[in-house]
Structure 1
Amino acid sequence: MNRRNFLNQTGKAGLSIMVLSLAGDLAFAAEPQTGKPVLAGQPCRNFNILARTSVIDPKDNREKFLLSNFADGETGNIILIDVKTGKGENFPLPVGAGAWGLVNWHDNKIIVGTCTEQAYLHVFDLKKRKWAEPIISKGESYFWQMGLASDDKVYGGTYPGCTLTQYDPATNEFRNLGKVSNNPENQYSRPVYCQAPGYVFVWYGFNTKGIKVYHINSGKIEDFGEPDDTIKEVNTEFICVERKAGLAFYDAKTLQPLPTEGYEEKMEKTHIKIQNGEWCSFITLKNGRLAGVRGQDYFITDAPKNNADYSTPVNVALKRIPVEAPPTTIMSLTHDEDGKIWGSCGFGQTIFSFDPKTKKYWNSAAVCKNGGEVYGMVFANKQLHLSAYVGGDLMIYDPKQPWDQLGNKNPKLVGSVAPDLIRPEAKSILGPDGNVWTGWSAKYGVYGGGLSSVNPVTQEVKSWYDPIPEQQITGIAADNENIYFTTNGHASGLPYNEGIQCHFVVWKPGTGIVKDIPFEKGVALNRALLAIDGLVVFSHKKELSIYDPGKKEIMKTIPIEDYTDLLIRLSKDTVGIFTNDALISLNVRTGAMAEICKVPGEVGAATVLPDGTVYYSAKSKLYCLKQG
């Protein structure tokens, strides 16, 4: 599963709102020549703060707001912000994109756990400003949230092993305590709670869900609560869990049930309502003030005088994170009618633009209040339509108007398909009816998917759940009559469903499915799907199938040398196929194939300008290719 100069805008009631943007000069490595790709630069830059705490810095004895930043596809960092002066320090990690795991060990060491390709544990000596050698958790991709328990050791959860880990900062000893669920389908152990002396609590999922408790003295891991419970709070007095019947409380010493009366009022406040009515999480600083992060900005504000005031909106001053944002993976690419390139970040919920004429770029603030990333980007009615994970959000942004996401004006949230659908896996396309269509994957722990459409004029949102039961929609395309989509067995929080048959589907707006072609079990379809020259091309295994809408059948299948997840339209009848190391052309009528150029690894996104110029991305790098 991540950034700028800022524009200062004034909101209602004279509130000064810092809106994230980035304008920079970005030179080509060389002037583009026909058939020779060149590096355009790294215009996608943002912050994606996954964890935060505070420290008393031993270097100057001043309190610092500590942020852990995830830089998707690149190297993450931690950031120290002086809570009085606002000055920041930036410390890149030795390796790894970043982390949810962050622990302050006695204002002496900072413990950081990273994701996504390999789970690394990093230890930063605050006084020396030096990183220790990384610790590798074998077989794990993610460290999730971490906590400091009563034995002065750091505990954390993992993916995909669903384990509990233990790290002793005093001895530098790391242990994997084993899987916390007996269900082999469960891959997640998150979050971990360490506030109750003698115990560590960990939630697991997503095939089945529940809570385990680790007894520090005995080393035993046992069930806690009831199946499907989730933890709401753990402290030195009680444990609060959520279940369908409501909240339940347990004694933090004996782990025995408690009466519900009187304990809910004692629960810690963790969120404050800001000026637009949105709830933001915070930590409490040593001086009693509250510090939090909203997207690309941070805030420090006075705490409300009493508990009731936490639900009263507070005008917080959002300030830019005071260090340079790193480059991050480009998730999606498109272009506007003027030839400007638009894209989204691989994690961090921001978008960017790049002007090929001036070589300048800009990066936005968060496009919505939910975390995640923008998958779908389509221009319709001269406005940019966005679809985003994790809230199933559908937004419209007008580049010609001032940015005002905080006021839900620009970009404007026009609807959501959550909770049933959360991940716009297939991204978005412009349909034959003029609406923007998106293909979705279901919520965590559920096999399934769906479609949504947004009318660019009326902004009406419609959705269809599970057109192919228990399969996500992975690819989507359109011609002047139909929507086409492919399905597969991937799901959020679950292993791939090997028992299903993937489908190629023809969907007519206003009617629904008009053609459904299932494939044999074991044949996986993906996002590579393109309507071109009256035909439809899609990928499976190391093959491309070509579907004829007129004959309503697959007319031929063409072998290719490598796997592809991305197809582009190079000309009227020519498809561009991105493999792991090359861009290959395919004439859909003649079947003729030729290598156009080499590419630097897996290409994540691409767009083709009206003059045929191709822009494509590999991680954070944007490349330009002029066709002959």
Structure 2
Amino acid sequence: MAAGCATLKSRAASYGSIVTDRIPITTIIFNLPKRGIRRFMGANVKHYTAVAEPCRNFNILGMTVFIDPQDGREKFVLSNCIEGSTGNLIFIDTETGRGEVLQLPGDTGAWALLYLPQYGRLLVGTCESYGYLHSLDLKSRTWAKPLRHENELYIWNLALGSDGMVYGGTYPGCLLLRYDPERHTLDSMGRVSDNPRDQYSRTVYGGVPGHMVIIGGYDSSFLRAYHIGTRSFFDFGTPGAEVRQITDDFICTEYNGSFEFFDPKTFSPISGEGLIEQLEMNRLALPDGSNRPIIKLASGSWAGVCGQDYFLADADGGRLDLRSIPVPTPPTAIHTVIADDNGMIWGATEFGQTIFSCNPEDGTYWNSSNVCNSGGEVYGMQLLESKLYLSAYAGGDHIVYDPQQPWDQLNNINPKTLRSVAPDLIRPTGRTNLGPDGGIWTGWSASYGTYGGGLSRIDPSTQEVSSWYDPIPGQQVSGLTADKKHIYFATNGYASGLPYNDDVNCHFAVWSPEGRVVFKHAFPQGVKLGFVLAVGGRVLVPAGSEMHLFDTHSMAFVDSIDMEQSSGALVALDSERAAVFGKDLLVLNVRTGRLERNCELPGHVHTAALTKSGDLYFAWKTILYRLNAKL
């Protein structure tokens, strides 16, 4: 026993830190010699075939209603975000149910919709690459020239001010934008927050004479008002509160279930006695227990969206009429793919809570409705005993789906949402793997405005969820893998709602199924880690263009290879080889460090899967590809 401890201490001093009951955790940065890698095949050789565009869904970010000047009929309008393509608007006749699609002039989608009846125009504020302000003439269905503010990627919402101008909040600059509908110009009124790490001016509200109200953060949280005349900002109320309603008589905010009321002329607190009963219903409880945003129609009934459907509800919130969105479902970008024992490919969309399956032999596919009530997307997918285990952002959700049983998500039967790890953990950046103990393990990033992460485990026999917060303090889990003995994970300094933390040393760690770190190694500052993969007694740890190889028997890093590209998806091909995806496909022998094959890819690939028959599939944007030859 003493000799064994001495050996462990020696390795810790050389390569990192091994954690035992006797040895404390330490962090030692090391540098191994870099070794190049030989190519047996020339680069830029195409060896893949497109199979299908199997991932199709609606991802509705915004909605409004108006009387259409083209035909005088009421239209329920949905803003559909299409990852991997250009977003669109869906116009639904509230009486006939007929649908019309109009593509945006640019960008993936839009949260912000605002109807200006006096101009007969619909304003659209887009995301996630340009932050455009689009203006649509509803009579002619023509778009004005797109406007944007340099460096802004999102416009979150749009609200009409008492001065006739339209205001909106942004990401990442945390600006208050002002749009002049007469002149069709867009200007910045400055940053809403004084904190340079706050990136979100998330929601802007009008309805207060001479003022706009703005909430956002997320390094800090703010609730601020903007004085239109003096172009100045000031705080009021509780930071982080949501605006519930604004009327001529009061501003109502809500924080952790408690209401506060303010005078809209002075912003001074006022008594809420008798005012709570006046709050309008703006959400509707559905049979699944979720509360969905709703909008009032001319008939007095309500309209809203539930997953891949829209609904109409009686004025009293009673009878619910769930209807299919009456336009074709567009192809969307693929976020994750895995293969089942029968060679079927399963996957999830990059944005929107839907999954799909595809038969690669004939290209036929199936798409689900939303798998859970939270917005966001599925990151992790793991098959076990014919059941599909999912992990999803933004609700920190664990979901289990049995493809052999009828679909009943509204009653939380199939798929079934298990215990969430939110609010501490919300984004499963490390994805999901089967652990050596038979548990379903997932790596997570912390809540908005927090640097941190964690791990979770589902017990498949009981469906109980366990979780561990911040095993490496202040760092999210960026990749997770496992072998027959341990779970392995990497971390980095990314966080939801915050800029990257350049001050951290990213870590590689070994985790026991019992729930503790048994080894950890810190990389130098500036090195960012992503996915990891266990194969052939090694763990592949990409860091920039380098691939570090960790030996699971000696518990030490044993090699560092220059891959000449950043790595995306990692797939074990057999007991000694791994497919490494980036801009090229590299096949790495983890024992010899030699490159056995190299072919150009259509783009940088971040997800791929190997079938039991040895066929390799990967996704890029909306397309599922098959490698033409087995590796």
Report the TM-score when normalising by structure 2. Answer: 0.90
- Displacement of 1:223 in angstroms is 2.3
- Conserved 8 A contact 1:508-1:514: yes
Deviations 1:398-437 (A, max 9, x none): 1111111111111011221111111001110111111110
Is the deviation greater in 601-610 or in 402-411?
601-610
Within the candidate set 92, 96, 100, 1:85 is matched to 96
2:290 equivalent to 1:278: yes
Structure 1, 368-377 or 279-288: larger mean CA deviation? 279-288
Deviation at 1:277, TM superposition (A): 2.9
Counterparts of 1:177-192 in structure 2, within 5 Å, are 177-192=189-204
Letter in 1 for 2:124: V
In the TM superposition, residue 268 of structure 1 has moved relative to its aligned partner by 1.5
Pick from 222, 229, 250 the counterpart of residue 210 of structure 1: 222
1:371 alignment counterpart: 375
Match of 1:49 among 60, 67, 81: 60
- Which amino acid in structure 2 is aligned with residue 627 of structure 1? A
Asked if 2 retains the 8 angstrom alpha-carbon contact of 1:270 and 1:281, the reply is yes
Tell me if structure 1 keeps the 8 A contact 2:158–2:167. yes
Q: How does 1:353-392 map to 2 (within 5 A)?
A: 353-392=357-396
Identity of paired residues, percent? 46
Q: 528, 532, 535: which is aligned to 1:532? A: 535
Matched residue, 1:9: none
Q: CA deviation at 1:244?
A: 6.2
The alpha-carbon deviation at position 511 of structure 1 amounts to: 4.6
Q: Residue 254 of structure 1 is aligned with which of 243, 266, 269?
A: 266
- The number of residue pairs the alignment matches comes to 585
Aligned twin of 1:14: none
Q: Deviations over 1:163-195 (max 9, x none)?
A: 000112222011111111111000000111112
Deviation at 1:230, TM superposition (A): 3.6
Listed one character per residue, the Cα deviations across residues 568-614 of structure 1 (whole Å, up to 9, x for unaligned) are 123331111112x2111111111111553211112131111112211
Aligned pair in 2 of structure 1 residues 318, 518: CA closer, same or farther (>3 Å)? same
SS where residue 135 of structure 1 aligns? Answer: coil
- 1:615 alignment partner, one of 609, 614, 617: 617
Counterpart for residue 520 of structure 1: 524
**Counterpart for residue 38 of structure 1:** 49
Contact 1:402 1:410 in 2 (8 A): yes
Equivalent in the alignment of 2:572: 569
Q: Distance in 2 between matches of 1:468 and 1:98?
A: 35
Q: C-alpha distance in 2, partners of 1:61/1:590?
A: 72
Q: Is the 8 A contact 1:606 1:616 kept in 2?
A: yes
Q: What's the CA shift for 1:153?
A: 2.0
Greater relative contact order structure (CA < 8 Å, 6+ sep): 2
Rate the CA distance shift 1:315–1:401 in 2: closer, same or farther, 3 A. farther
Matched, 1:103 2:114: yes
Alignment match, 2:589: 587
What is the CA–CA distance in structure 2 between the aligned matches of 1:277 and 1:370, rounded to whole Å? 12
Instruction: State whether residues 379 and 390 of structure 2, in contact with CA within 8 Å, keep that contact through their aligned partners in structure 1.
Output: yes
For each residue in 1:12-71, what CA deviation from the matched residue of structure 2 results, as whole angstroms up to 9, or x when unmatched? xxxxxxxxxxxxxxxxxxxxxx97201112111111111101010001101000111111
| Residue 431 (structure 1) aligned with residue 415 (structure 2) | no
- DSSP 3-state at the match of 2:277: helix
Q: Report SS of the residue matched to 1:265.
A: helix
Q: In structure 1, what is the equivalent of residue 325 of structure 2?
A: 321
Displacement after TM superposition at 1:315 (Å): 4.2
Given residue 135 of structure 2, which amino acid in structure 1 is its aligned partner? Answer: V
Partner of 1:296: 308
Is contact 1:381–1:457 with CA below 8 Å preserved after alignment? no
* Partner SS, residue 65 of structure 1: strand
SS at match of 2:391: strand
**Mapped partners of 2:342, 2:476: distance in 1:** 34
Specify which of 536, 546, 558 is matched with residue 561 of structure 2.
558
CA contact (8 A) 1:612 1:626 kept: no
Q: 1-side partners of 2:275 and 2:46: how far apart?
A: 69
Aligned-pair distance for 1:253? 2.4
Give the Cα–Cα distance (whole angstroms) in 2 for the partners of residues 426 and 51 of structure 1: 29
2:452 pairs, out of 434, 448, 451, with 448
- 1:22 corresponds to which residue? none
**Is 2:224–2:234's contact at 8 Å kept on the other side of the alignment?**
yes
Instruction: Find out whether 1:173 has 2:185 as its counterpart.
Output: yes
- Please give the alpha-carbon distance, in whole angstroms, between the structure 1 residues aligned to 2:66 and 2:490: 50
Mapped contact 1:381–1:456 kept (Cα < 8 A): no
Match of 1:152 among 147, 151, 164: 164
- Identify the residue that residue 8 of structure 2 maps to in structure 1: none
Matches within 5 A, 1:401-420: 401-420=405-424
Cross-structure match for 1:578: 581
- For residues 319 and 357 of structure 2, the distance between their equivalents in structure 1, rounded to whole angstroms, comes to 30
Q: Read off the aligned partner of 2:472 and give its amino acid letter.
A: I
Q: Distance in 1 between matches of 2:180 and 2:505?
A: 47
Match of 2:244 in 1: 232
1:198 to 183, 196, 210: 210
**Post-superposition shift, 1:342?**
0.5
Match of 1:119 in 2: 131
1:444 positional shift: 0.5
> What is the root-mean-square deviation of aligned Cα atoms in Å?
1.6
Q: CA deviation at 1:155?
A: 1.0
Which moves more between the two structures, 478-487 or 149-158? 149-158
Counterpart of 1:199, as a letter, is H
CA apart distance, 1:627: 3.0
Letter in 2 for 1:323: V
Deviation at 1:245, TM superposition (A): 9.3
1:86-110, Cα deviation, whole Å (9 max, x unpaired): 0000001111100111101117111
2:231 to 201, 219, 237: 219
Q: Deviations 1:108-127 (Å, cap 9, x if unpaired)?
A: 11111111122111111110
1:94 and 2:105 correspond = yes
Distance in 2 between residues matched to 1:322 and 1:253, nearest whole Å: 45
CA–CA separation in structure 2 for the residues paired with 1:275 and 1:514: 46
| Aligned-partner residue type, residue 277 of structure 1 | G
Counterpart in 1 of 2:17? none
Task: Using structure 1 for the length normalisation, give the TM-score.
Answer: 0.91
Within the alignment, does 1:393 sit opposite 2:397 as a pair? Answer: yes
Cα distance, 1:384–1:243 mapped onto 2, change above 3 Å: closer
Find the partner of 2:425 among 412, 418, 421: 421
Q: Amino acid of the residue matched to residue 399 of structure 2?
A: M
Counterparts of 2:290 and 2:397 in 1: how far apart (Å)? Answer: 15
